[in-house]
Structure 1
Amino acid sequence: MEYANLGRSGLSVSRLVLGTLNFGWNTPEADARALMDRAHEHGINFFDTADVYGANGGTETIIGNWFAAGGGRRERTVLATKLYGDMGDWPNEGRLSALHIRRACEASLKRLRTDYLDLYQMHHVDRSTPFEEIWEAMEVLRAQGKILYAGSSNFAAWHLVKAQEAAVRRHFSGLVSEQSFYNLLNRTVELEVLPACQDYGIGMIPWSPLAGGLLGGILRRNSLRTEVIGANLERYRTVIAAFEAMCDGLGSGPAEVALAWLLSRPGVTGPIVGPRTISHLDAALRAFETELDAESLRRLDELFPGPGGPAPEAYTW
C-alpha cells in the first residue's frame, strides 16, 4: 500500500480510502466486517463513513461493532465520518449549527464506539450558518479531544476560501481535506476546487471514482443497476466503449485504469472506493500495479477531455 500525508497535516493515510456507503444497505454486516478486515490486511488504514449512511446511523453502528471486536482495529484505523444530513424530523437535527455539530458528534461517537474521530467532515456546505459559528463548535470538539482534524465535502472553491480565511482569523487549522465528485467523466473540480485545495494544502479525496459504475467495465458486465445508470450509459456509451477497448489494449481492467488515473493527478490524496464484496476490494488494489505512460494519459485526456485546466485560463486568456 502507498501512503500520503492528508493535505498539509502530518497524518499518514492510505492512498485508497475504504468507503462504507454500502454497509448495511447492499453489504450485510458480516460481509462488511470481512471487508474491513481485508482492508487492514492490504494496508488500507483510511475508512470513510457518514452518519446518514445505512438508514440514519446504521453504517456507523456496523463499524462500531467491528471496532469493539478489538485486535487493534480502532488504533490501526484513521476514522473519518461526516455530518450535515437530517437525522430526524425535528428542527436542528441536520445542517451545521453549533447545536447540531455538538449533538451529531456525540451520536456518531456512541454508534462508532470510540471516544474520538480522526477526521470530522462537513458533508455539504451550509449556506445558513456562518463559518465563525462552525469553527467555534469544531474548536470546542477538538479541545475536548473528540476530533483531531476537520474536513469538507462537496464544497465549491469559494466555500473553501471562506472556510479557510475564517479559520485563519481564529488561529485554527481549518480544513485538511475536501471530498469532491471527481472521475474521468466528471472533471469540473479541475477548474477551481482542485487548484484551491493545492494552494491551501487541502487533500483532495475523490468520491465516486468510477462514476457510479460507468467506468468499471459496465459494457462487458452488461448490468444496469438503476435507471439513472442506464440513462447515463446511453449518453456516454460511445466513449465508454472506446475506454474499455483502450483498457483491453493496456491489459488492465477499466476500474483499475480509472483509479490509476486519479492516483496520478496532482493534489489527489486518494480516491474513495466503495466495494460491496471482497473481490471488488481486491480488484481496486490492482490500480497500484497499473502504470499509465504519457501516451496513455494523453489518450485518456482525448477520450475524457477536462475543462481545459484551471480557471481562468480554461475559458479565457
Structure 2
Amino acid sequence: MEYRNLGRSGCVVSSFALGTMTFGNETDEAGSHAQLNTFVAAGGTLIDTADVYTRGASESIIGRWLAKQSPALLSDVVIATKGRFAMGDARNDLGLSRRHLRDALDQSLRRLQVDHIDLYQVHSFDPLTPLEETWGFLDDAVRAGKISYVGLSNYTGWQIQKVADLAEHRGLARPVTLQPQYNLLAREIEWEIVPACESTGLGLLPWSPLGGGWLTGKYTKDERPTGDTRLGDDPNRGVEAYDRRSTVQRTWDVIDAVQTIASDRGVSMAQIALAWLTDRPCMTSVILGARTLEQLEDNLGAAGLHLTAEETARLDEASDPAAASYPYGDLGVEQRARRLPGS
C-alpha cells in the first residue's frame, strides 16, 4: 500500500480507501467486518461512509467494529463520513443548514462511537442554504474538535471555487478534498472540476472507480445483465442503464483496451482500471466499494501497481470523452494545457 497526504493537509492516508455504501444492505455485518479487517491488514487506513448509507446502518456497523479494535490500530485509521441528505421526514432534516448539520454530525458521532470525525464531507451542494451558514457551522465544529478536516462531495467547478474563496477570505476551515464520480468511462470532471481542484489544492477521493462494474468485464455486448451484478439485481433499472452505456462505442473501446492490458500484465481488469485512476492529477485516495470480500481482495491487488506511459496513453485515447464543442473543445485544451515554447 502507498500513502499520500489528504489533500493539502498534513494527514496521511492510504492510496486506496474502503467505501462502505454496501454495509448493512448488500453486505451483512459479518461480511462488512471481514472487509474492514482485510482492508486494514493490507495497510489501508481511510474508511469512507455517510449517514444515509443504509440509513445509518453503515456508520453503526463501522462503529461496532471500531469499538473492538486496539488503540494502536485506531491511531492509524482515518474515518470519513458525510452529511446533507435526509435521515427523517421533518422539514429541516435535510440540507446544509446549521440546524441540520448539527444534528447530522452528532448522530454520526454517536453511530460511529467516536468523539470526532477525521474528514467530514458535505455530501452535495445545497442551493437553499447560504455558504456562509454552512461554512460557519463547519468552522465552529473544527474549532470545537468535532471535525479535523472538511471535504466536499459531488460539487461542480464553480461551487468548489466559491467555497474556497469564501473560506480563504473569511479565515474559515478550508476544504481539503473532493469526492466525485471518476473512472475511465466518466472523465468529464477533467474539463473543469479537476482544474478547480488543482487551483484550490483539493485532493480527489473518487467514487465508482470501476464504473459500476463495467470496467471489471462482467458485462458483454451480447447479453443483458442478470443475476448477481449491480445491474442484474434490478431488471428494470438495470436494463435501462445497460442500454444507455452499451450503445456507446466508446464503452466497448475502453473495455477492450483494459482487457488487453490486463491480459498482457496477468492481472484483473479491475486492477488495471484502478491503477490508471490512482496516477491521475490531484489523486489522494481511490474509494473501493465492494459487495463481497473476494471483490475487495482483487481490488486491493492494485496497490502499488502503476501503468507504463504507453499503457496510460492507450487508455487515455480509448476513454477520451471527446469534448468537441465550446468551451471544452480546442479552446478548453488550450486553456488547460498551454506551455511555454520549447517546454
Shared fold per TM-score greater than 0.5: yes
| Deviation of the 1:231 alpha carbon | 2.3
Q: Which amino acid aligns with 2:69?
A: G
Give the structure 1 partner of residue 40 of structure 2: 40
Cross-structure match for 1:261: 276
Partner residue, 1:60 = 59
Whole-angstrom distance in 2 between the partners of 1:289 and 1:174: 30
The CA distance in 2 between the partners of 1:30 and 1:154, in whole Å, is 30
Match of 2:148, SS state, is strand
In structure 2, give the amino acid aligned to 1:33.
H
Structure 1 residues 260 and 232, CA gap change in structure 2 (3 angstroms): farther
Q: Residue by residue, what CA displacement relative to the aligned partner does 1:15-59 show, whole Å, maximum 9, x if unpaired?
A: 0010000100111001111111111111100000000001x1011
Aligned to 1:235: 247
Question: For the residues of structure 2 that align with 1:146 and 1:307, how far apart are their CA atoms?
Answer: 43
Q: State TM-score, norm by structure 2.
A: 0.86
What do the CA deviations read for 1:155-208 (whole angstroms, capped 9, x no partner)?
A: 001000100111112212310000011100110110111111112111111110
- Residue 31 of structure 2 aligns to a residue whose secondary structure is helix
Counterpart Cα distance in 1 of 2:7 and 2:130: 24
* Partner SS state of residue 36, structure 2: helix
Instruction: Spell out the pairing of 1:270-309 with structure 2 (5 A cutoff).
Output: 270-307=285-322
The corresponding residue for 1:91 is 91
| Partner secondary structure for residue 120 of structure 1 | strand
Structure 2 gaps, min length 5: 232-237, 335-343
Aligned partners of 1:187 and 1:307 also within 8 Å: no
Q: CA separation of 1:171/1:241 partners in 2, compared to 1, >3 Å: closer, same or farther?
A: closer
Q: 2:192 aligned with 1:192, yes or no? A: yes
> In the alignment, what sits opposite 2:74?
74
Q: Tell me whether 1:114 sits opposite 2:128 in the alignment.
A: no
Instruction: Check the 8 A contact 2:83/2:121 in 1, yes or no.
Output: yes
Structure 1: gaps (5+ residues): none
Residues in 1 aligned to 2:252 and 2:215: alpha-carbon distance in whole angstroms: 12
1:288 aligned counterpart, secondary structure: coil
Point out 4+ residue stretches in structure 1 off by more than 4 angstroms.
none
Write the distance in 1 (CA, Å) between the matches of 2:148 and 2:50. Answer: 16
Preserved CA contact (<8 Å) 1:217 1:253: no
Whole-Å separation in 2 of the counterparts to 1:307 and 1:234:
17
Within 5 Å, which residues of 2 pair with 1:142-221? 142-219=142-219
Deviation at 1:312, TM superposition (A): 5.5
Mean CA deviation greater in 196-205 or 273-282: 273-282
- Looking at structure 2, the residues matched to 105 and 86 of structure 1 have their Cα atoms a distance apart, in angstroms, of 13
Aligned alpha-carbon RMSD (Å): 2.0
Determine helix, strand or coil for the equivalent of 1:141.
helix
SS at structure 2 position matched to 1:150: strand
What is the identity, as a one-letter code, of the residue corresponding to 2:101?
I
What is the aligned residue count?
314
Quick one: percent identity of the two aligned structures? Answer: 39
Q: Take 1:7 and 1:45, find their aligned partners in 2: how far apart are those partners?
A: 15
Contact 1:252 1:290 in 2 (8 A): no
Shift of 1:248: 1.6
TM-score normalised by length of structure 1? 0.93
Secondary structure in 2 aligned to 1:167? Answer: helix
- Amino acid in structure 2 at the alignment position of 1:182: Y
